[in-house]
Amino acid sequence: MTFVFPKNFTWGVATASYQVEGAIHEDGRAPSIWDAFCAVPGAIEDHSSGEVACDEYHRYPEDITLLKELGVNAYRLSIAWPRIVPLADGKVNSKGVEHYIKVLDALRDAGIRPVVTLYHWDLPQYLEDQGGWANRDTALRYGDYVHALAEAFGDRVDTWTTLNEPWCAAYLGYGNGIHAPGVRDYGKALSAVHHLNLAHGLGALAVHDTLDERAKVSVTLNLSACVAQSDSEADRMAKHRNDLLSNEVFLGPMLDGAYDPEIFDVTTDYTDWSFIRDDDLKTIRQPVQCLGINYYSSTHVKGVTDPAECERRRNDHMQAVPAQDIVDALPPEGELTDMGWNQEPRVLTEMLVGLAKRYPGLDLMVTENGSAWKDEVTEDSSAPGGRIIHDPKRVAYLNHHIRAIADAIEAGVPVVGYFAWSLLDNFEWAFGYSKRFGIIGVDYETQKRIWKDSAYRYRQIIQEGI
Ligand code: GCO
């Protein structure tokens, strides 16, 4: 039976500024932590950077045409903070603002709703020089930046997403250091967690205060989809510990107004959390109209019980997240994507069902979902540009995961939208251009866009359901 999605369902594709824009020296943009990180030898697998990327900064009109051809009604893009506030003096760069106003207006003219991420990891380097997310001041600066955006963009934005995946920004950035700024310090990672939470609250406040309480605010989390390998006490404890540090550290303050005290108990080796100030939790918990979820794969875990092994793991920065000494992530199983990730769409359904139970009435939106595969280009004179990419595995992944969302909706979960990651192949962070997530391919030599079967399939699902 075909599942037909509700008429007003949001169908979109997502990108992020540093991954697609390029033009890093244009119109007064300042360096971001990713520019600096890419210059560190060995940081990026293929030694590349976002200097050119998909040249989206210049090619957005052409890419908006692609959006129309895909038949999506929304586009999730992010704003590059270093374009808006390039200097430590905090002044707004009108050229940066004007660029995004042109993009937002072009989207409106195309009938496509902009779902705007205000922070997708490209922190201005001058803020990192003062300690980055481990420094409270960064959250305050973020509040000012969002205030400026709310004033400048006004009603051009459909949904204001404060942060994308603070888990990655905090733990990959400051925990195991595989993302910018490349710091390996669990104490700093936890203080980054808190300051990102604070930034979320200040950003939400800035939007609601500047515009109107009805302005739609959301935040996008990549909640860890963790499955205990068995029902044993140790395995259940491992899942619990993982969920505490990966999920509860964000959900608790943002949506419930508190950190679970157990978080403090299990992180005493790394911090005393004295960076939490009076009223922070009040600031962090703001009304959100929608919760964004990014889902790619699941992780199965088992418990570690040997004390010597726990001790060894305690300061093992191979793990992004601190206090994972009792958590052993098992090797993924089944057919793995080019990222080495498993495919377990039912876990997405379960996560959505669980969230709907916990937060009744809160709209949920899958703001990223997709898969990387090794693609091959085929000459085909009937295809646009004479080339096409047949990507049956990406098509299958898309089918299974959109079906998983349909299952959640059938179970009564208010999932209001889906965004495929990504519109285009792009700069995949520490992997550079070696991983391709696009439903439209990019020939980086010529910047030509190449349709993949998955793009055609997505268009069909949007029209017909699944
Ligand atoms: C993410 C990121 C994306 C990645 C994608 C694939 O939010 O993790 O938003 O930028 O490219 O997840 O790894």
pTM value > 0.95: yes
Task: Report d(CA 197, CA 275) in Å as an integer.
Answer: 12
Distances (CA, A) of 266 to 175, 188, 272: 16, 16, 11
- Determine which helix (DSSP H) or strand (DSSP E) holds 218, and give its type and residue range: strand 216-221
pLDDT tens digits, residue range 204-225?
999 999 998 889 999 999 999 9
Residue matched to tokens 């010597």: 308
Q: What is the overall mean pLDDT for the chain?
A: 98
pLDDT of 324 > 80? The answer is yes
Task: Report DSSP state, residue 171.
Answer: I
For ligand 1, the distance from its centroid to the CA atom of residue 296, given in whole angstroms, is 9
Q: Where are the domains of the chain?
A: 10-464
Q: Which residues in 239-264 are b (16+ Cβ under 10 Å) and which e?
A: bbbbbbbbbbbbbbbbbeeebbeebe
Show Cβ contacts of residue 12 under 8 Å, excluding neighbours closer than 6 positions: 72, 73, 74, 75, 76, 113, 115, 417, 418, 419, 420
Does the C-beta of 67 come closer than 6 Å to ligand 1? no
For 185, residues 6+ apart whose C-beta sits below 8 A from its C-beta are 134, 174, 175
Is the Cβ atom of 297 under 6 angstroms away from ligand 1?
no
Q: How many CA atoms lie within 13 A of 131 on its CB side?
A: 13
| Tokens 């560190």, located at residue | 40
The predicted structure's pLDDT at residue 1:
86
User: Does residue 316 have a pLDDT over 90?
Assistant: no
Cα 313 to Cα 308: distance, rounded to the nearest angstrom? 9
Q: What is the pLDDT of residue 304?
A: 97
462: which DSSP letter? H
- Whether CATH 3.20.20.80 fits 10-464: yes
Active site residues: 165, 368
| Average pLDDT over every residue of 414-435 | 98
pLDDT at position 448: 98
For residue 35 and ligand 1, the question of a CB distance below 6 A is answered with no
* Span 1-36, pLDDT tens digits: 899 999 999 999 999 999 999 999 999 999 999 999
Question: Given this model, what pLDDT does residue 214 score?
Answer: 86
**Which atom of ligand 1 lies nearest, measured to the CA of 294?**
7
- What DSSP designation does 145 have? H
Choosing from 294, 296, 365, 424 the residue with most ligand 1 atoms within 8 A of its CB, the one to mutate for a pocket test is 294
Identify the band that residue 315 occupies on the pLDDT scale cut at 50, 70 and 90: confident
Side-chain-side CA neighbours of 393 within 13 Å: the count stands at: 15
Q: What is the enclosing helix (H) or strand (E) of 244?
A: none
Q: What is the DSSP string of 281-339?
A: HHHH----SEEEEE----EEEEE---HHHHHHHHT-TTSSSSS-TTEEEPPP-SS--TT
Report how far ligand 1's centroid is from the alpha carbon of 404 (Å).
20
User: Is 437's C-beta closer than 6 angstroms to any atom of ligand 1?
Assistant: yes
Would you say the CB of residue 122 lies under 6 angstroms from ligand 1?
no
Which helix or strand (DSSP H or E) is residue 454 part of? helix 453-464
Q: Are 245 and 321 in contact (CB under 8 A)?
A: yes
Read off the pLDDT band of 378 (50, 70, 90).
very high
- In this prediction, residue 317 has a pLDDT band, given cuts at 50, 70 and 90, of confident
Q: Is 165 in the pocket of ligand 1 (CB under 6 A)?
A: yes
Rounded distance between C-alpha atoms, residue 443 and residue 407, angstroms: 36
* Helix spans in 161-245 (H): 166-167, 173-174, 186-210, 233-243
Ligand 1 centroid vs 328 CA: distance in angstroms? 23
How many percent of the chain have pLDDT more than 90? 98
How large is the average pLDDT for residues 431-445? 98
Q: 180: CA distance to ligand 1 center in Å?
A: 14
Say how many Å lie between the CA of residue 432 and the centre of ligand 1.
12
Span 174-184, mean pLDDT? Answer: 97
Distance from C-alpha of 366 to C-alpha of 415, rounded to nearest angstrom: 8
Q: What is the pLDDT of residue 318?
A: 81
- Please tell me the distance from the alpha carbon of residue 32 to that of residue 455, in angstroms, as a whole number: 31
Structure tokens at 207: 């939007």
pLDDT in tens, 136-147: 999 999 999 999
- H helices of 342-411, in order, are 345-358, 392-410
Q: Indicate the length of the chain as a whole number.
A: 466
* Angle at CA of residue 326, ends 321 and 328, nearest 5°: 75
pLDDT at position 314 is: 86
CB distance 414 to 399 below 8 Å = no
The span from the CA of 149 to the CA of 202, in Å, is 13
- Backbone dihedral angles phi then psi of residue 17, each to the nearest 5 degrees: -50, -55
Pair 285, 201: CB distance under 8 Å: yes
What count of other Cβ atoms lies within 10 Å of the Cβ of residue 360? 8
Looking at residue 430, its pLDDT comes to 98
Which among 405, 292, 396 is positioned nearest to 347, based on CA atoms?
405
Rounded Cα distance between 152 and 137, Å, is: 23
